Structure 1
Amino acid sequence: MGQPLKYSELCMVLIVITAMGIWGFSCSSDTSSSTPEMYTLTISVVPEEAGSVTPAEGQFEEGERVEVVAKNNKDWVFSKWSGDQSGSLPETLVIMDSDKNLVANFEEGVTDIDGNGYETVIIGDQEWMAQNLRTSRYANGDEIPNVTNQQEWDNLTTGAWSYYDNDEIHNNLHGKLYNWYAVDDPRNICPDGWHVSTDKDWIEMEMFLGMPEEEAYSFQGFRGEDENVGGKIKAINIWHQPNEGATNETGFSALPSGLRDLNGFVTFGETSWIWLQDEIDDPYTEDVDINPMYRASLYIYNWFWRSVWNTEEGLSKATGMSVRCVRD
């Protein structure tokens, strides 16, 4: 007598009875799914003391999509992924179609009160942040409000910030947009030991990059064109084309992060707007009001504009611009 069939070997039988007897049958084996393939995710941090990664490591089913996030420790900044993943943003998506080995690379930098890390660059005798500021608090820990409503933003007379288009997706690369009141606040939006860049800071950098002293201290808007000063500090492959003159040979990586004015968000991808710490009389007008200064660059030019945000002409200190910090 044969061995009894195992459960998995049982057949489904279809019998068709006709006048001529049994006509036929079909049989199929059990089709229950097999155990899914598992793959191992291994992660390391270089150097070990610089930060951490979540999830740290583990096993995941074939095809699973794993969101991996690198977090820097104080005075370190995430640099890049290597191994089986590439990219310069701390968040990355890993598709588990094989065993994966990821390396999170960090570099020494500076950290703000929120724990955001920033790469820095030495230009002449100055040390600059190589990224736009991202903090949501002043250096003493006090909160800077995030104001999303446009009407409320337009009427502000105190410090505030927003993401471009109120979309957090822009934060890691482009940072936050701050109004002038946040820039001017004595609690300081830059980390301890750092300050919002000044007109003097920019002039020193511009002269180091080849701008003649006479031109550096003049108030003409178009500056440093012959020496490609603007091009030397503009990031590559992020601006709209032609991104005139961009070499980023300094590593400053100026970004076209746009502006938030009384009409909303404008010029993303086209223009870099950076608040300065200074307030002066506007030399182009007869008014005697003190107004804040800024620097700006456009994707079709290779210069950085030196000018005053003239509130007498309807420009508002509630305008949101990027901020770069300089070590004291």
Structure 2
Amino acid sequence: MIITIFSLVTTTSCTKDNFPILVGPAVTDPISVTDIDGNVYPVSKICDKFWMTENLKTTRYNDGTVIPTNLNNNNWSATTAGAYGFYADLAANNTTYGKLYNWYAAHNPKLAPVGWHVATSAEWNQLVACLSGSSVAGGKMKSTSALWSAPNTGADNSSGFSGLPAGWKSTTGNYSLLGDAAYFWSFDERNATQGEYLKLVNDFASTATNGATKTFGYSVRCIRD
């Protein structure tokens, strides 16, 4: 009786006996992610999670649904649906800082590219803790760019997060704090009228978290699922 033995080899070269060779797919860390509009965002691994290192810019949810924009101030203040603006309605600010979404958009699971999601409060807290706590994490998350108003206290961007001071769109539709602060929505709700957010400011190395009325327009960062 002849017994035939097959050897399973995971290699990139043939064996001398010409046994079948199985080569698995290469496992690589992502260096970018592309949204449904074709915007490409750099990606960095920060504290064991893959984060976008630029603010979200998409005009559509990942199923192709258009997100409302160009709302007048009354409609912006009154809406309970997802919407966005960009600072002072200037295209150059959209290019540099991304969109300012209300919380209703940030809370939509389809806002992020497929396979990604808007950062949750727990994930923001984990990031801050990993970066040695709220008293210094802001400096590690802020870009050293001159786009920040002086003094850009503690900023060294050692995390690679590259936070920029995109300011906000207020509940009444006005814009403020460009150069001075960055506000990032969390996916989570604080209560019936407020969503959770994380803040970076020019004159502190710290981070702060709080709740804000859902019709503020803040930046959004996404994490890979």
Give the residue type in structure 2 aligned to 1:323: V
Post-superposition shift, 1:291? 3.0
Q: Aligned partners of 2:184, 2:113: CA distance in 1, in Å?
A: 17
Which consecutive unaligned segments of at least 5 residues does structure 2 have?
A: 1-29
Q: Extract unaligned runs of 5+ from structure 1.
A: 1-106, 212-223, 282-288, 310-315
Answer 1 or 2: which has greater strand percent: 1
- Which residue number corresponds to residue 25 of structure 2? none
Distance, in Å, in 1 between the alignment partners of 2:189 and 2:141 is 24
The corresponding residue for 1:123 is: 46
Secondary structure of 2:194 counterpart: strand
1:269 deviation in Å? 0.5
Looking at structure 1, the residues matched to 196 and 175 of structure 2 have their Cα atoms a distance apart, in angstroms, of: 20
Distance in 1 between residues matched to 2:91 and 2:71, nearest whole Å: 12
Q: What's 1:179 paired with? A: 102
Q: CA shift at 1:180, angstroms?
A: 0.9
Deviation at 1:170, TM superposition (A): 0.8
1:229-308 superposed matches below 5 A: 229-236=137-144, 237-263=146-172, 264-281=174-191, 289=192, 291-308=194-211
The 8 Å contact of residues 164 and 259 in structure 1, kept in 2 or not, is answered as: yes
SS in 2 for 1:205: helix
Q: Percent identity?
A: 38
Measure how far apart 1:148 and its partner are. 4.3
TM-score by length of 2: 0.82
Deviates more, 1:135-144 or 1:256-265: 256-265
Separation in 2, partners of 1:118, 1:145: 22
TM superposition score normalised by structure 1: 0.57
Deviation at 1:125, TM superposition (A): 0.9
> Which one of 152, 163, 166 corresponds to residue 89 of structure 2?
166
Deviations 1:21-45 (A, max 9, x none): xxxxxxxxxxxxxxxxxxxxxxxxx
Change (3 A) 1:135 1:149: same
Paired with 2:39 and 2:193, the residues of 1 have a C-alpha distance of 33
Specify the alignment match of 1:326 in structure 2.
223
Offset at residue 128 of structure 1 (A): 0.4
2:116 counterpart letter in structure 1: W
8 Å CA contact retained: 2:31, 2:44 = no
**Corresponding letter in the other structure for 1:201:** E
| Alpha-carbon RMSD | 1.5
- Give SS of 1:119's match: strand
The equivalent residue for 1:41 is: none
| Paired residue total | 194
Amino acid at match of 1:198: T
Pairing of 1:33-182 with structure 2 (within 5 A): 108-182=31-105
Amino acid at match of 1:275: W
The correspondence of residues 165-244 of structure 1 with structure 2, limited to 5 A, is: 165-186=88-109, 188-211=110-133, 224-225=134-135, 228-236=136-144, 237-244=146-153
Shift, 1:253, TM fit: 0.7
1:254·1:272 contact (CA, 8 Å) conserved in 2? Answer: yes
